[in-house]
Amino acid sequence: MGSITRILEIVENTDEGENILDLKVDIGGNDVILAPMMSSPGDDSKPLPEDYAACVSHLGGSNNTAVAYGDSNNKSAVENGEKRIYARNALGEIVAYIHLKNDGTISIWNDKAQASINADGELNYNITRQEILSTSLEINKDGELNFESDIAPGLKSNLSIDKQGKNRFSNPFGFYEMSEIGIFNVNGNFTVGPWL
């Protein structure tokens, strides 16, 4: 027999040298019990108080084990076949996640940086923090690279490499470029090469 319970407290215990995670739950009618939490090996996670837990009874109904728990405060953000792993702060707010999407995309997020790899293998990375206003890195399926950074207001720098091998660096004051055949160009005013 099973029941859906409200988690009141998470208690770490040991039993004959084994680490046990007990959930203090209310199984109804203010009947509070400790139910050991069982989860998959390699899954190191803890619920928060006020989450729900699914408990099953065994050994004639005298003991309960928590086999799953759920977050009822954050709405699901996945489509069929997807999986999202997230962490919450003490207020229950999501502060980081990894989202495995059903089109093959993998997304990683927190409030300072975001990264994704799409089904074609393209990589996108963005970071935002106070001392560096924003930084982004994109590598597409052809191996082309584009890197952009705002180190201060109005000081955006860009580095790009295309699939032919042309390299270009630019900032608000100018650019330099090395073509795929070795021609070096500075601000369109000075050109040397190709290198032989």
Each residue's pLDDT, cut to its tens digit, for the chain (196 residues) gives 678 888 999 998 888 888 888 899 988 888 898 888 888 777 788 889 989 988 888 766 557 888 888 888 888 899 989 999 999 999 999 999 999 999 999 999 998 889 999 988 888 888 876 665 678 888 888 888 888 887 667 778 888 988 888 899 998 889 899 888 888 889 888 888 775 5
**60 domain residue, yes or no:** yes
| Single-letter amino acid, residue 48 | L
Single out the residue in 23, 47, 70 at which a domain terminates. Answer: 70
Single out the residue in 51, 70, 89 at which a domain terminates. Answer: 70
**147 domain residue, yes or no:** yes
What pLDDT is recorded for position 62? Answer: 58
CA pair distance 167, 145, nearest whole angstrom: 9
What pLDDT is recorded for position 95? Answer: 94
CATH of the domain at 45: 2.40.50
**61 domain residue, yes or no:** yes
What pLDDT is recorded for position 13? Answer: 85
CB 137 within 8 A of CB 159: no
What pLDDT is recorded for position 116? Answer: 93
Range of the domain at 154: 131-192
**108 domain residue, yes or no:** no
Question: In the chain, what is the straight-line distance between the N-terminal and C-terminal CA atoms, in Å?
Answer: 80
What pLDDT is recorded for position 66? Answer: 83
For the entire predicted model, the pTM comes to 0.68
172 prior amide bond cis, ω within 30: no
